[in-house]
Amino acid sequence: MSTQETNEHDQKGSYVHKGTSFDRDMNYIPTRITKDGEDGYPVEADRYRLVASRACPWANRTIIVRRLLGLEGAISMGIAGPTHDKRSWTFDLDEGGKEPVLGIERLQEAYFKRIPDYPRGITVPAIVDTRDGAVVTNDFGQITLDMGSQWTEFQREGAPDLYPEHLRAEIDELNDWMLHRINNGVYKTGFAGSQEAYEKEYHLLWEALDELEERLSTRRYLMGPSITEADVRLFPTLVRFDPVYHGHFKANRQTLATMPNLWNYLKDLFQTPGFGDTIDFQHIKEHYYVVHTDINPTQIVPLGPDMSHIMEPHDRDRFETDTWGPGGTAPEPPLASEVVDPAHTPLHVTGR
């Protein structure tokens, strides 16, 4: 038996149901923003706003890709607070509790403008059309692919090709496997409603992490010498593992810091522009420990672990390396308005 849940940010109020397994609803608004505007939403600079949360791993991917491709000048970004109630993500970080561009207090308002009484979870990431304030899409998997393929006119010079044609089949296969075994695997472990379901998902998760530990023993990144969409999809899960998933989700066979290839790979990416500078550890911990009251009823947010060691030297440059791929370069520093609070990260970055 399984319980139908949506994204972990889906405001259902309860995430664990006794005697059941966690089953994520993967149905999202499929509308795309494309060059030809086939779905009614053409690529257009300054029209769309990416609404994300630094707490959410699925939204974290879109923040990273937007940075790597240099789309900050074409797609603006709003950041929701790290916690939410049963109804919606809120904009409590903004003055007056209102999103400064969209003028709304809850992301739910943008969903209802598009689909009145939207029946599924109010999830991030979401792209909203600033012309009418209605959500366009929340399909996190397609959003990043479209940023790479549909928004080329507005990408920065030297933007990497994160989804190269000759690797797409292999990337797709790996991404699908990681989605079910790792990205969602941590949730299936943490939201298990029975000992049997927990133990099954725990073992499947660690088998998958062991496979990645072996894969990363022969190459710098998941697909070889260059960063791809696959690395973008794995990083947000790995960076949350020791601070949250290890304890909060009981995925506690060991910490990633004890796995030399995965840990050094994570340090490598964290220290790469566009990855670690998007991470807010305080938002991450506040979200999981405050929102998941059926797992953490006291809502106490732990002070640890100390993540400063993520900035220590790594050994990944021993492998063949072309980090940004042919013709690619590192992104510019984050916009000054998008720099993560230094108190929430071991990184010290200067915005532009």
In angstroms, rounded to a whole number, what is the distance separating the alpha carbons of residues 288 and 56?
9
pLDDT at residue 314 tops 70: yes
pLDDT band at 287 (very low <50, low <70, confident <90, very high): very high
The whole-angstrom distance between residue 237's C-alpha and the CA centroid of its chain comes to 7
Locate 331 and state its tokens.
């992104």
Nearest to 75 by CA among 137, 134, 151, 142: 151
Locate 17 and state its tokens.
């149901």
Stretch 56-78: mean pLDDT, rounded? Answer: 98
The pLDDT of residue 348: 63
In angstroms, rounded to a whole number, what is the distance separating the alpha carbons of residues 283 and 165?
36
Least confident of 20-29, 62-71, 78-87, 296-305: 20-29
Average pLDDT, the chain: 93
The pLDDT of residue 22: 75
Catalytic residue (choose from 56, 202, 245, 289): 56
Distances (CA, A) of 222 to 39, 65, 178, 262, 280: 33, 16, 11, 11, 24
User: Is 48 a known active-site residue?
Assistant: no
The pLDDT of residue 11: 41
Residues 6+ apart with CB under 8 A from 46: 74, 76, 130
The pLDDT of residue 190: 97
Question: Among the CATH numbers 1.20.1050.10, 3.50.50.60, 3.30.470.20, 3.60.70.12, which is that of 181-344?
Answer: 1.20.1050.10
pLDDT at residue 220 tops 90: yes
Q: Which residues pair with 51 in a beta bridge?
A: 78, 126
In angstroms, rounded to a whole number, what is the distance separating the alpha carbons of residues 161 and 232?
12
Stretch 287-310: mean pLDDT, rounded? Answer: 96
The pLDDT of residue 350: 55
| 78-108: pLDDT as tens digits | 999 999 888 899 999 999 999 999 999 999 9
The whole-angstrom distance between residue 333's C-alpha and the CA centroid of its chain comes to 19
In angstroms, rounded to a whole number, what is the distance separating the alpha carbons of residues 30 and 38?
12
User: Is 56 a known active-site residue?
Assistant: yes
Buried b (16+ CB within 10 A) or exposed e, 110-143: bbbbbeeebebbbbbbbbbbeeebbbbbbbbbbb
Does 89 appear as a known binding residue? yes
Stretch 273-295: mean pLDDT, rounded? Answer: 97
In angstroms, rounded to a whole number, what is the distance separating the alpha carbons of residues 92 and 13?
19
Catalytic residue (choose from 48, 111, 187, 245): 187
Q: Is 168 helix (H, G, I), strand (E, B) or coil?
A: helix
Share of the chain above pLDDT 70, in %: 95
In angstroms, rounded to a whole number, what is the distance separating the alpha carbons of residues 183 and 204?
12
| 126-185: pLDDT as tens digits | 999 999 999 999 999 999 999 999 999 999 999 999 999 999 999 999 999 999 999 999
